[in-house]
Amino acid sequence: MLSDVTTPQDLDDRFREALAALAAPGRRADPAQPVADGATLTGAELLDLFDAQVTSRQLDLAGRWLRSFGEGYYTIGSAGHEGNAGVAAALRPTDPALLHYRSGAFYCVRAAQVARNAEPDTDRKSDADPAGGGDGRTANAFATPPPSTVGATGDPGRAEGTTPVDGDPGSAEGTVPTEDDVEPAEEVEAPADDVDPAGGAEPAEGAAVPGTAGGGSVGARAVDPGYADAARDVLRGMVASREEPIAGGRHKVFGRADLAVVPTTSTVASHLPRAVGMGLAVERLRRLETRQEPTWPGETPAATWAPDAIVVCSFGDASINHASATAAFNTAGWYDHTGLRIPVLFVCEDNGLGLSLRSPQGWVATALRSKPGVRYFAADGTDLVETYEVAVEAAAWVRRHRRPAVLHLTTVRLMGHAGADAESAYRSAGEIRADLDRDPLVATARRLVEAGLASGAELLDRYDEIGWRIRRLAEGVLDEPKLASPAEVVAPLAPRRPLRVARAVAEAGDRAAGPGAGARVEAFGGKPPELVGPLTLAQSINAALTDGLLDHPQMAVFGEDVAAKGGVYGVTKGLRDRFGVARVFDTLLDETSILGLGLGAGLAGMLPVPEIQYLAYLHNAEDQLRGEAATMRFFSQGALRNPMVVRVAGLAYQEGFGGHFHNENSVAVLRDVPGLVVAVPARPDDAAAMLRTCLASAAVDGSVCVFLEPIGLYHTRDLYTDGDGEWLAGYAEPGAWAGAHVPVGRARVYGVGSAEDVTIITFGNGVRMSLRAASALADEGVGTRVVDLRWLAPLPVADLIREATATGRVLVVDETRRSGGVGEGVLAALVDAGYVGAARRVAAVDSFVPLGPASRQVLVSEEAITQGARTLLAR
Ligand SMILES: Cc1ncc(C[n+]2csc(CCOP(=O)(O)OP(=O)(O)O)c2C)c(N)n1
């Protein structure tokens, strides 16, 4: 009897009752024929997709079962959403996918597609693997049908002629670009819909339906072994097994690199900006002759997507209200408006609820229909055939036109939000029952029976057979090892290979001095920067970016105002003219989307160098760095990576340009992101070397680097007296790059006077102020060593401890705030290392930076540094 929450038992009982009530089919249909008039899906294909739906459902039930005795750690299921099997079937297995946590049936279909492509011999479908054990990626845990249903495995019966006609013959062609700094619109060489432009390896839309083993009755067909692969993956995720294929026990997520399924975080909608970035990158790489070139010479190119791939990302209906989602829709539409191609298929799986919150009646359709530049498709997601047919149409449209679309699937949510959710608190029993009446599995079964493809009893046998085998798989993964040490957990987080990075920098120098010398001289207008004379910090970064773009064919520089204007501080001046709009481009004004573009581009094998115009504006987009960029290696065990060097102009002390938002001095939000590299160059020569290091580290190790540029030092020329030019530095010629290399996490030390009395540990603007203070102290006979951390993450712990111990008196000069500032980390590092000397701290006041002269009240000053040192010496 149904209670007021739907338990696994209720759902199972209800399914059995519904199937038992289905009348026996009057006649048997030919499974090779379309399942309905006007449909392209054949009976055999529908039978197969039913298996995917059942696999997904049985996984949900297994998740609850595992939880019931404390061995499962995840109970958010896909029940009610299994129509998404039809979306996967409408796509190519190589189309990159970022999936909603309820896209279980999609995942099953994708796994089966890939398994079949990897092993085209359909005989394998009958290879029994009764134990269902081992990794068994191609072994078939579903292969032995129970005695009652054993039948001949016949011709797979893949339907011919399932290719759909393009769904939108009358749609507008590419709009004319309105921006002069974007690539011109260009219609993809539209293939005939049934021709594969990539060379025939891929089926066209609608022909990719997976296992169709056994063309006869339902009992005669073996279940596609790819579903066992998928089931094992998901179960391993539920029990946090180390063997789980993407996150290795770190996260329960749909993902596998060989399935082109990119893991997502559980922050709803945060994967959408990345999906847009991936769409942009697919198009950009298709157009660039360099698409097969690696990010760094000698590395394997990361981009493996077909030139005509489309990106798919799914999400729930409540998620469309999230800022990240609205950013992604807007960015896709904005670029479409300018004529730039972004082939993304958004799939909204609309069950009408976001946990307990209802989507207002009609809101989702209204909102999705009105996204400018994003074409709207809709289907009843509980009807597999309709879902498939509309998904085929939507995918074909996106693939042909290389433009974004959204597929709105209405679904139901069965068994509540997750295992612990008591739906009855916010839904009536009647509503819950109404959802059960729309169970997509029952709907598919009804179709199959009505079409004469199966009887209810046969389908129930199928359901039980798959359920039984999933239980066995679940029992098999229970004993698999878990992550058992901190080292094991963090191993894939941010591997660093400093020697390879150093070698990469040296090799870049060799290329720039050798084969690339001519192009380099040309790019620099006949005069390379090492011949120009001393440079400012801004000029030095500009030159290093130029050298990076010359050496990395996949590098792209983008952000607000970086191209036409050359950046608000001129740091990217001239780059667009030197390298063109495909590699240096202005983005729309949205930091979430800027980072999303970087995330997608990095995943596609590019080397993105996005710019955040001011540190204050990183904060509204910070999750794209923390939640998305920094987790990718962790959640994919290094199988996927999003290398990136995010340039951020920040920190305080701008002459004549006051106020908090242009003088933000908080980096706390970055310092605790595991694996993130945070660089703060203070001097021009360090800036160029550190940028080279970041680019090499991103290319070699896939590092995510934040390159925080002190605005106050961009154009500084002098150190001690007007005109001394001591804050300028010459640019190293390429042959000297190896010698000038600055490894990640190594500090720079300046000795002033005897350098024996006090150690100042600082960074950024603090370096220049401290050197000036040290000069004043030297006049008083005090010898100082000034340590420029250069890297805020990872901190140069060994260097700072050595230098602290050398004097036994440490003054931390921290231009960030006292609470949560960098100084806290420095002092903690000293304590952790057993430093026993004296220590003091000079830091900014816990305040936002006020306008004008008032800023001096809260920021660190040279006088405060000198005073701090004197107090330390007086102890
Ligand atoms: C940014 C964010 N806020 C809150 C949550 C907590 N949360 C998890 S799922 C969920 C509801 C999502 O609803 P919807 O997008 O409709 O997907 P559904 O679960 O209904 O399929 C919420 C609020 C989250 N994961 N991420």
Q: How far is CA 558 from CA 327, 611, 855, in A?
A: 17, 6, 31
Could you tell me which of 293, 296, 274 has the C-alpha nearest to residue 695? 296
Are the C-beta atoms of residues 331 and 275 closer than 8 Å to each other? no
Other CB atoms closer than 10 Å to residue 816's CB: what's the count? 25
pTM: 0.90
Q: Is 351 in the pocket of ligand 1 (CB under 6 A)?
A: yes
Mutation pick for ligand 1 pocket among 82, 267, 322, 355 (CB with most ligand atoms within 8 Å) = 355
Question: 717 C-alpha to center of ligand 1: Å?
Answer: 51
Residue linked to tokens 């540990």: 761
Residue linked to tokens 């030919």: 30
Looking at the DSSP assignment, which residues form a beta bridge with residue 453?
A: none
Are the C-beta atoms of residues 345 and 380 closer than 8 Å to each other? no
Are the C-beta atoms of residues 631 and 702 closer than 8 Å to each other? no
Mutation pick for ligand 1 pocket among 268, 271, 313 (CB with most ligand atoms within 8 Å) = 268
pLDDT averaged per 10 residues, the chain (length 875): 74 97 88 95 97 98 97 97 98 97 98 86 34 39 36 29 30 30 36 31 44 51 90 98 97 96 96 97 76 50 76 98 98 96 98 97 98 98 98 98 98 94 92 96 97 96 97 97 97 95 98 98 97 98 98 96 97 97 96 98 94 96 97 96 97 87 92 97 98 98 98 98 98 98 98 97 98 97 98 98 98 98 98 97 96 94 98 92
Q: How far apart are CA 512 and CA 485, in angstroms?
A: 44
Could you tell me which of 764, 852, 745 has the C-alpha nearest to residue 815? 764
Q: How far apart are CA 867 and CA 49, in angstroms?
A: 75
Question: 621 C-alpha to center of ligand 1: Å?
Answer: 19
Chain centre to alpha carbon of residue 296: 21
Q: Is 353 in the pocket of ligand 1 (CB under 6 A)?
A: yes
Question: What DSSP state is assigned to residue 267?
Answer: S
Determine how β-strand 555-559 pairs with β-strand 584-586: parallel
Question: What DSSP state is assigned to residue 625?
Answer: I
Q: How far apart are CA 545 and CA 550, in angstroms?
A: 8
Q: How far apart are CA 443 and CA 454, in angstroms?
A: 13
Q: How far apart are CA 422 and CA 228, in angstroms?
A: 31
Are the C-beta atoms of residues 864 and 762 closer than 8 Å to each other? no
Are the C-beta atoms of residues 35 and 41 closer than 8 Å to each other? yes
Q: How far is CA 110 from CA 6, 53, 240, 836, in A?
A: 29, 12, 22, 59
Q: How far apart are CA 271 and CA 705, in angstroms?
A: 20
Q: Which atom of ligand 1 is nearest to the CA of 101?
A: 21
Q: What pLDDT was estimated at residue 218?
A: 67
Q: Is 80 in the pocket of ligand 1 (CB under 6 A)?
A: no
Q: Is 359 in the pocket of ligand 1 (CB under 6 A)?
A: no
Question: 355 C-alpha to center of ligand 1: Å?
Answer: 6
